[in-house]
Amino acid sequence: SNNEFDENDWNNTSNETHQPYSYSKVAAERKAWEIADQQSRWSLVCINPALVMGPSLTDASQSGSIEVLQQFGNGTTLFGVPPMWNGIVDVRDVADAHVKAALDPQAKGRYIICGGTLSLLEMGKALTQKFGYKYPFPHFTVPKTAFSLIAPMLGYSRQFVKLNMGYPIYFNAERSVNELGIQYRDIRESVCEHFQQLLDDGIVKKYI
């Protein structure tokens, strides 16, 4: 379907000015395959993880997942979140996938590593169930048209809102299950463990 992607799909819509971060990932992987095809000394396997969540080994990271959870903890999203869905995967599943892809001689090609999809609202609900109402987690969805008005102030371009919000997105990770033997952790747990990590590290202020 239009909303489900597998390893045959590539991001062809980003460029240097529209979603440059995503574009850099695509450009790097295409270059890697180009180099791999030019020689026979080593083979290439690519791990393509969704938004990575879960406990961290360091508090020094600046990542998309941390930014989302910081906004959940500091009140930015108290009055609602846009209708946006993310593929999510636990960081430990990503680590397992790298090890298995490297050590299994049968591993080949590209592997989507994704434990499922959650909307921002569903992430808020999972956090509320775990931590209660002590933090300003989102309980509402802001309509796409309304969010578009304030999007630039929150770091989203209007084009990004138009193209990415309001569309549930799903990733088919069956190859990783069947060929790498990945058994995915509960992504709601991953989100909660990640938030707990931000509390422990002082990145999000503990509620007193």
Domains and their CATH numbers in the chain:
4-200 (3.40.50.720)
The residue-averaged pLDDT of 105-126 equals 97
Single out the residue of 112, 146, 137, 103 nearest to residue 207, CA to CA: 137
Q: In this predicted structure, what is the pLDDT of residue 147?
A: 87
DSSP secondary structure string, 151-198?
GGGGT--HHHHHHHTT---EE--HHHHHHH---PPPHHHHHHHHHHHH
pLDDT in tens, 51-72: 999 998 777 666 677 888 988 9
**pTM, full prediction:** 0.91
| Contact indicator for 129, 94 with CB cutoff of 8 Å | no
Q: In this predicted structure, what is the pLDDT of residue 2?
A: 67
Q: In this predicted structure, what is the pLDDT of residue 194?
A: 94
